[in-house]
Amino acid sequence: MTSKYDQLDRQTLIGLLQRRDAERQLGLVWEREEIEVDQALNDDFVALSLDAGLSHGAAPWDNLIIEGDNYDALRALRMTHKGAIRCIYIDPPYNTGNKDFVYNDRFVDKTHRFRHSLWLEFMYRRLQLAKELLADDGVIFVSIDDNELFRLGMLMDRVFGEDNFIANVIWQKVYSPKNTAQHFSDDHEYLLVYARSRQHWQSNPLPRSAEQDRAYKNPDNDPRGPWKAGDMSARNYYGEGTYSVMTPSGRVIEAPPSGRYWVISESKFKSFDEDGRIWWGKDGSNVPSIKRFLSEVKQGVIAQTLWKYEEVGHTQDAKKQLLEILQFDSSAEVFSTPKPVQLMERILRIASRPGDTVLDFFAGSGTFAQAVAKLNAEDGGQRKFILVSSTEATQDAPDKNLCRDVCAQRVRRVLGGYINTKGQEVAGLGGGFAYLRAKRIPKHRMALKLDHAEVWSALQLLHGLPLSPWPGDGFAGDGELAYLADFHAAHVQRLRDWLQARAIAVPHVYSWSPQRLAGLLGDAAAELALLPLPQHLRERFGR
């Protein structure tokens, strides 16, 4: 087997070794030069072809499901959604070696010499694109297990910067230990959380739970409602925290407990006591504590890094949820690693606001979209989801289409309603989605291969508009945007009428020949932004 080093002389090889020895060894290194090139890597333009038949609900559509390699889809989204995504969640292959990671249409098993390098290269390319999609105040959550946790952490540091690390969340994924485990029962997975910019990202508090509220009682029937006693002393030095107090029973407490200080001054203590905010115990002779009323505490609580299955579900919950909606003949047909809806809901509660656009580019069974729809129904929000899923077809299963048959089908039923396994009708959560396919087009062939429907979809997304199908003739207009596909007199007249009916400062009009269009429009062209196709799309797409 030949090597790239075979033709090098001795002195050149020595120089290479010296430079390698001098390089910093600490950090993440993978064999980028040795591994097989990812066939997904290409410089083509990526169009998004709308399939109205597989879409759901009435147009226009705010939500998107994209079928195709996520490397292609992410590059298309970079053109249309750069800096616009508030929250990204992904559940990538864990690289266990058990047929969970496909590289160049083949599974990577445990014996592959470059197993970890292949996975790192695969993830690196996609995370770089994901970073470009995040808003300045955006955040990404990545599910992972022990197989690649430490390598992924270093990779995330490289892509997002270690200063933007937010948390490593532990999710308790099972409800009982595995007694068949050899050494330890594997009970959890992780969520690595990184911000686009730690300075700009702000997490949302989680709603208070009934269990948290149960700690508040009202033993003295205070009209302000339930309260919880808080310690009035602390170890931290406080210059005004060493005074004596007298209990209602007449006992004098000369000072706070040994080694501690009262946390409020004497004057503030007296004010609190007069307002009934000091608790002396049932007999009125205990060391004082401060009453903290439930009505006055923050309505939310800061998220913790341990997420228990009772709060966010476990893997069996996830499989049952999927079976309930899609009703496979057996659990063996169920997507192997779905995540529970409750887990996705928690991520969205922490990281999204009601009007945000959120993305999952390893969408699997579509759980993320279900959580978005559920949260929107709960708080009246208008969150928009983008899901990307491949077909997961392989050489052994060329007709497999996970995106169409599992992901989109699940979301369609969740939004539109379905009959569950008990024969009960479950109401839909409402909403719809556009179903798109990522299509590569060589950049020098765009003028010949890019059809009008694909142009229209790209332009709508570029302008932040919901998707509507191409009307099928030579003109379409929406908001500040118009597309003239040809120069038939009737279509040019429709453009004139459209411009006349709109009081837009500078309408954007796209044409395959802006100079010819300018000549037809005359003086009116000076008030327009006439943009050339396909050049404008090619420039916006970049590399």
Residue 542 — pLDDT band, cuts 50, 70, 90?
A: confident
**443 near 45, Cβ under 8 Å?**
yes
Residue 23 — pLDDT band, cuts 50, 70, 90?
A: low
Question: Looking at residues 57-80, what average pLDDT do you find?
Answer: 97
Minimum mean pLDDT range among 14-23, 169-178, 264-273, 506-515:
14-23
Residue at 38: amino acid letter: D
Question: Looking at residues 465-471, what average pLDDT do you find?
Answer: 96
Question: Looking at residues 166-188, what average pLDDT do you find?
Answer: 89
Nearest to 125 by CA among 47, 82, 69: 69
For residue 112, the model assigns a pLDDT of 66
Residue 513 has pLDDT above 90, yes or no: yes
The C-alpha atoms of residue 518 and residue 48 are separated, in whole angstroms, by 29
Minimum mean pLDDT range among 85-89, 220-224, 332-336, 397-401:
332-336
The C-alpha atoms of residue 339 and residue 29 are separated, in whole angstroms, by 31
Domain ranges of the chain: 47-207+302-437, 210-296, 442-541
Q: What's the length of the chain? A: 543
Residue 25 has pLDDT above 70, yes or no: no
In the structure encoding, which two tokens stand for residue 6, read together?
A: 């075979």
**508 near 481, Cβ under 8 Å?**
yes
For residue 396, the model assigns a pLDDT of 80
Chain centre distance of CA 436: 19
Question: Looking at residues 225-244, what average pLDDT do you find?
Answer: 94
Residue 40 has pLDDT above 90, yes or no: no
Strands ordered across the beta sheet of 227-231? 227-231, 289-293, 278-279
SS3 368: helix
Regarding predicted confidence, which is higher, 98 or 317? 317
Q: For 81-120, give the DSSP string.
A: HTT-EEEEEE------SSS--EETTEE--TT-TTHHHHHH
Chain centre distance of CA 149: 18
For residue 358, the model assigns a pLDDT of 99
Nearest to 196 by CA among 130, 255, 261, 245: 130
**320 near 331, Cβ under 8 Å?**
no
39 by Cβ neighbours in 10 Å (0-12 / 13-18 / 19+) ranks as: exposed
**429 near 417, Cβ under 8 Å?**
no
The 3 state secondary structure assigned to 374-416 is HHHHHHCCCCEEEEEECCCCCCCCCCCCHHHHHHHHHHHHHHH
The C-alpha atoms of residue 125 and residue 117 are separated, in whole angstroms, by 12
Regarding predicted confidence, which is higher, 167 or 100? 167
Question: Looking at residues 486-507, what average pLDDT do you find?
Answer: 89
Q: Reply yes or no: is the peptide bond before residue 226 cis, omega within 30 of 0.
A: no
The C-alpha atoms of residue 143 and residue 159 are separated, in whole angstroms, by 16
For residue 31, the model assigns a pLDDT of 72
DSSP percent split of the chain into helix, strand, coil, nearest 5: 35, 20, 45
Residue 338 — pLDDT band, cuts 50, 70, 90?
A: confident
Residue 333 — pLDDT band, cuts 50, 70, 90?
A: low
CATH of segment(s) 47-207+302-437: 3.40.50.150
For residue 44, the model assigns a pLDDT of 94
The C-alpha atoms of residue 532 and residue 518 are separated, in whole angstroms, by 11
For residue 239, the model assigns a pLDDT of 93
Predicted confidence (pLDDT) per residue in 389-430, tens digit:
998 887 788 888 999 999 999 999 999 999 998 999 999 999
The C-alpha atoms of residue 12 and residue 96 are separated, in whole angstroms, by 39
Residue 139 has pLDDT above 90, yes or no: yes
The strand pair at 252-253 and 245-246 is best described as antiparallel
For residue 309, the model assigns a pLDDT of 95
Nearest to 481 by CA among 454, 460, 453: 460
For residue 14, the model assigns a pLDDT of 87
Residue 345 has pLDDT above 80, yes or no: yes
Average pLDDT, the chain: 91
CB atoms within 10 A of CB 360: 27
Please tell me the number of Cα atoms within 13 Å of 50 on its side-chain side: 27
Range picked from 78-92, 292-306, 513-527 for highest mean pLDDT: 78-92
Question: Looking at residues 115-119, what average pLDDT do you find?
Answer: 82
State how far the alpha carbon of 476 is from the alpha carbons of 284, 388, 471, in Å.
79, 27, 7
